[in-house]
Structures are given as C-alpha cells and as structure tokens.
Amino acid sequence: MKSIAVLLSGCGVFDGTEVHEAVLTLLALARAGVKYQCFAPNIEQMHVVNHLTGEVANDEKRNVLVESARIARGEVLNAISLDITQFDALIVPGGFGAAKNLSNFATNGSDCSISPIVETFLREFALANKPVGYMCIAPMMLPLIYPNAKGTIGTDSETGHIFNEMGGKHHSASVVDIVVDEVNKVVTTPAYMLANNIAEANEGIEKLVNKVIAMID
C-alpha cells in the first residue's frame, strides 16, 4: 500500500495549519485507499492568535507538535523521526503556520528561511526524488528546496513576484486548478488563498492529492 507523509504546522488558519485543508487532504487520501502519517516539528509557535477576535494572545504559548495532534487525533509524529524509506510522497497543507512556524516567510518575505528541522524533513523528499504536494501559502518554501521550482499560490501578483524573486517560477492558477512541476515532482494548488468556501477548496485539494498519488513510481 502506498504511504504518504502529511506535514502539519499547528492547528488554526491564523497561527497553524488551515484545518479544512488538512482534513480535506486526509479525507482524499483515505478515499484513495492510501495510508498516511501526520508529522509536525516539536517547536514553539511564532505566536498564538485568538481565532474568535483575530488578535494575538501575547500571554499564550503553544507547541506546533502538540497543536497538530488536535487535527491528527493524536496520531502525529515528531518530524525528526521521519524514515524516508517508509513513505512514497509528501503533502503540506497551508495556513499561516507554514509561513510562521515551518518558515519565517510571514516576517522575512523573500529573505525567509525554513526552520532547520523542517528543512531537513522537506529535503529528504527532494533528495529521494519523491512526489510532493504543497497548498495555500506553503509553496513559498519551494524555491528554498527545489531549483527553479514551478508552483502557484493563486493569482496574487505581489506574492507571485516574491516567489520568482526567491528563485521559483510562479504560475497563476484558479482555486480549482493545480500546477505541476514534472521535473521536481511538485504539485501545488491555491486552496484557501482563493477559496470562498470549503467546496471550492476541496476541488483543488482533491486534484492535488490524486496527482501526487499518480506521480508515485
């Protein structure tokens, strides 16, 4: 049976993983008959956001691995425990956690870097030439991992320009579309960068999941 790793970045769109994107990913994988395992880095979140008010809760601290366990129903492993030989592909849902916890793109823009633990995790799949799928804002990490990475974050020209500035090749795409980088075996979709509702997000996510599965050797 094919096995896919899913990298989470916490729980909640404003400071972690976009919950709908993660759940839709896991649902699509289950429907496709694919085994999956969630992972997350054991690091502190950049900050905690009150999702009711949208305000930063300065007196709170949360751990990315612990928060990711909320989405994974406890079935999540520390990113440092990855055994690349046990997985055929990787999918990274979005949410601001990808830009705040997995990387510091939210604060550093084109001068961003990826958390060392996360970078090691992501490079394992690149070095093994295994298919990967990134959605929402998560593709902004791709130019730091893959040479001339081709991908999309949707239709925002400013963010697309930054993607190119970082060494990638951005392609505009609608919420229901995917962009495929055949050379690097990378699939991307805008998801909630553009989605107005969960049904719109699901269409692109399902396509991404199915394409990643199809690209497995």
Greatest Cα pair distance, the chain, in angstroms, is: 48
Q: Which entry of 11, 38, 112, 136 is annotated as an active-site residue?
A: 136
Considering only CA atoms, which of 147, 157, 212 is closest in space to residue 179?
212
Q: How far apart are CA 140 and CA 176, in angstroms?
A: 19
Q: Decide: 133 and 93 in contact? Cβ < 8 Å.
A: no
Q: Decide: 45 and 63 in contact? Cβ < 8 Å.
A: yes
* Residue 159 three-state SS: helix
112 catalytic? Reply is no
Residues 50-54: contacts with CB within 8 Å, 24+ apart? 51/12, 51/13, 51/14, 54/14
Q: How far apart are CA 48 and CA 56, in angstroms?
A: 6
Considering only CA atoms, which of 100, 128, 127, 125 is closest in space to residue 114?
100
Catalytic positions: 136
